[in-house]
A and B are shown apart, each in its own frame.
Chain A
Amino acid sequence: MIKTLLIIAIIYIGILATLSLASRQRQKSTASYLLAGSKLGPVLGLFTFAATLFSTFTLIGMPDFFRTHGVGSWIFLAVSDAAMVFGIIWLGAYVRKKARNKDFKGLSGLIGDCYQNRFAGFVIFLGAFIFLIPYVSIQIRGIAIFLNATFPEALPTWGWALSMVVVMLIYSETGGLKAIIYSDVLQGILLLVVIWIASFVCIAYFGDIQSMFKKVEQTNQALLSVPGPKNLFTTQFLIASMLAIVMIPFTQPQVVTRIIIMKSQRSLFRMAIGVGCFAIIIILPTLFLGMYGAVKYPGESTAVFINKVLIRDQSDSVAAFIIIGLIAAAISTADSQIFALGAELRSLLKGDDKKVMPVTRVAIGFFAVVSLVFSLFSSDQLVLLARTSFAGTALMGPMIFTGIFSQNKAGMLIPIATLLAMALFVGSLLDVIPGSFWGIRLDICLFTVLAIIALLSQYAGNKSVPAGDLKKVTDT
């Protein structure tokens, strides 16, 4: 397998280097380096959006999630993703319209402009930093523990994590967002192919799908319905997760950027439909991998289970492709997120590109190092950590929509309330305050309160503008 792996790795790195150098530009302006020229068609848009969403979290996290919690995982992720796709066509056009009017450089800068106050922009940047860094870290950690389990003699976990961050930084610093988008296409196709090949091997082990579910029923019947063996999929958990996932395209900077840089509204809509279909065909094989694991490896740790299902039980050439596919998935998602944090900082900085871009590039390096350090200490619960990241950034949703839909200067009550809500949410993660009140999850409570404040401030704001002025603003 080592020989095959080396050949595929050399080809993959060669393609990455070619794409990176081809995308390289001497003059690194915000528009070309951070926003890739903002003329993305539906096919490139689909793959870069999908590769940013479906990553290590999907390929390693979801099989383990299906194995542990059962078929309810489909409701948790696939149904929520379908709802998210509807959200994109319902609200995406409004976000694009506002962004184009405000000379978009990043979500933080856009919201700062909407509120006409830099504090609002800093709240968004702080939220993105606090909740994206753990998300980047789980991409790095997920692959590092997997590679360490596969090649225990080669490098320690931190060595694999460091190698990935170095490759990621060299690549994205050289080629910018355009290079990241091209690598996303490569990763999206690779991920789709390897995960389906691996899942066919798992189905073949049982003979057919019917026999597979019969075996699962004999092993652990609770896996075949909600709430699952560990009672995770309660109605509250599923609704809270759906809210968090539906908010991703409007609250996670790396995804917002991809909505804004689409060539046109029509391209955005076509891309959204593509993402909906992609979600179904990428999550389905992870179900087969998980059910296989539930029967064959019910008691194993995440790292051992993933190592067996994706490497030991596959043929050598398939295993080699899976390893490269996994590394590609982790790199493409993590670099998008780190790059987005750099773009967020850039959008808050005043000054011309010549002065600000070097600072942005140093910041991208800093965010990568912070993610690397965090990855060495985070847990192996990839899906639940990712969900926490989604839930954290979702708290910024009411504030972002208030900024987007306000026809005049939005008040500062909602940014202050959002900052407080994020602090409370982090407090609950650190067990400083309870995770639920009166039997209702804290994330649902906070989101509901913020939504009510947003609606009231929107109502009060519109009321305070004379009707004639309001019409003038609307017409422009």
Chain B
Amino acid sequence: FYWIFCCTSAIHKPALWGVPYTLWTGIAVSILLVLITYIGTK
């Protein structure tokens, strides 16, 4: 069940600290995907 859940889960203005929104989103998604993969290996 956890494994299936894990598998299923897997604008120019600057946002926080001057970093553009698109980049923040991209970095967040990358980290989240690696984190889900890590949970998958657990």
Residues of A whose CB lies within 8 Å of any CB of B are 71-72, 74-75, 78-79, 81-83, 85-86, 89-90, 209-214, 217, 221-222, 224-226, 269-270, 272-273, 276-277, 279-280, 287
Contact = CB atoms under 8 A, between A and B. Distances in A.
Given A74-B30, A225-B20, 17 more contacts: A74-B22, A79-B33, A81-B30, A82-B29, A82-B30, A83-B10, A86-B37, A90-B10, A90-B40, A211-B18, A224-B22, A226-B22, A272-B41, A273-B34, A276-B30, A276-B34, A277-B34
Interface residues of B, number: 24
Contacts of A279: 30
A83 B11 CA distance: 24
A234 to B, nearest CB: 14
A222 B11 CA distance: 9
Contacts of B12: 217, 221-222, 224-225
Contacts of B37: 82, 85-86, 89, 272-273, 276
Interface in B21-36: 21-23, 26-27, 29-31, 33-34, 36
8 tightest A-B CB contacts, nearest first? A210-B18, A82-B33, A276-B34, A74-B26, A224-B20, A269-B41, A71-B23, A82-B30
A72 to B, nearest CB: 6
A79 B21 CA distance: 15
19 contacts: A71-B20, A72-B22, A75-B26, A78-B26, A86-B10, A86-B33, A86-B36, A89-B41, A90-B10, A90-B40, A210-B19, A212-B18, A213-B14, A217-B12, A221-B12, A225-B20, A272-B41, A276-B33, A280-B30
Interface of B: 7, 10-12, 14, 17-23, 26-27, 29-31, 33-34, 36-38, 40-41
A447 B30 CA distance: 24
A71 B22 contact: yes
Nearest to A88: B37
A86 B36 CA distance: 8
A89 to B, nearest CB: 5
Given A86-B36, A217-B14, A273-B41, A209 B30 contact: no
Contacts of B36: 86
Contacts of B22: 71-72, 74-75, 224-226
B4 to A, nearest CB: 11
For B18, B23, B27, which residue has the most chain A Cβ atoms within 10 angstroms? Answer: B23
A86 B26 CA distance: 16
A146 B11 CA distance: 35
Contact of B27 (A74, A210, A277): A74
A38 B21 CA distance: 44
A83 B33 contact: yes
B13 to A, nearest CB: 8
Contacts of A74: 22-23, 26-27, 30
A85 B26 CA distance: 16
Contacts of B19: 209-210, 213
Nearest to B37: A86
A209 B18 contact: yes
A226 B30 CA distance: 17
Contacts of B41: 89, 269-270, 272-273
Given A71-B26, A86-B40, A224-B12, A214 B34 contact: no
Contacts of A276: 30, 33-34, 37
B33 A85 contact: yes
A213 B36 CA distance: 30
